Amino acid sequence: MKEIRLNTDQLKAYAEKLNAGDRILLSGIVYTARDAAHKRMFELLDQGKPLPFDINGAVIYYAGPTPTPEGLAIGSCGPTTSGRMDPYTPRLLDLGLIAMIGKGQRSPQVCQSIIKNKAAYLCAIGGAGALVAKCVTKCEVVAFEDLGCESIKRLYIKDLPLITAIDCKGGNLFTV
């Protein structure tokens, strides 16, 4: 196990070097999306319309941040259970998604898609939404504002502590 400092734009080139158990301090841009946002993204894809952000090389953080207190970039921003997004994940990985951030194990289909697409699944600390919020320097709503906390947001993060839970070589912390 090692600790690695990475920027999100380095993940595509670095994903194959990650091993399950590696600790990462991630900086750069991530997009929040939960169940309702994933459903809407798939409606767009099924209609042949573009997604509200470039999925190729993107990182999706499964989170629905709370309202932003005055003076902060974001409210509490802890990870949600990733398995709820499993029906959507293989298709997004096939479109170029490079990493997902969440908590909990993933389905065998998602694990195989991570391997196939040379991607990674990163876990954030559950129950530590206030800690995650301290790593967010800027937050912008990108799409589906009517979904409130489940809208898609672009987060600018600095040194977000994560663990590589599933790597593209088949390493999986949930099956050890």
Q: Is residue 172 part of a domain?
A: no
The domain that contains 26 carries what CATH number? 3.20.130.10
Rounded to an integer, the average pLDDT of 128-134 is 86
Read off the tokens for 170: 């088949």
Q: Is residue 173 part of a domain?
A: no
pLDDT (tens digit per residue) in 7-58: 999 999 999 999 999 999 999 999 999 999 999 999 999 999 999 999 999 9
Q: What is the 3-state secondary structure (H, E, C) of 114-152?
A: HHHCCCEEEECCCCCHHHHHHCEEEEEEEECHHHHHHCE
Residues linked to residue 143 through DSSP beta bridges, in sequence order: 152
- Does pLDDT of 2 surpass 80? no
Rounded to an integer, the average pLDDT of 109-114 is 98
Burial of 35 (0-12, 13-18, 19+ CB in 10 A): middle
> Domain range spanning residue 140?
3-165
- Does pLDDT of 1 surpass 60? no
Diameter over CA atoms, the chain: 43
Rounded to an integer, the average pLDDT of 117-128 is 90
Q: Is residue 174 part of a domain?
A: no
Question: 147, 153, 176, 150: which is closest to 164 by C-alpha?
Answer: 176
pLDDT (tens digit per residue) in 65-102: 888 888 889 989 989 999 999 999 999 999 999 999 99
pTM here is 0.95
Rounded to an integer, the average pLDDT of 103-120 is 97
Number of domains the chain contains: 1
Q: Is residue 176 part of a domain?
A: no
Residue 126: the pLDDT is 74
Q: What are phi and psi of 125, to 5 degrees?
A: -80, 115
Q: Is residue 23 part of a domain?
A: yes
| Gyration radius (Cα) of the chain, Å | 15
Q: Is residue 175 part of a domain?
A: no
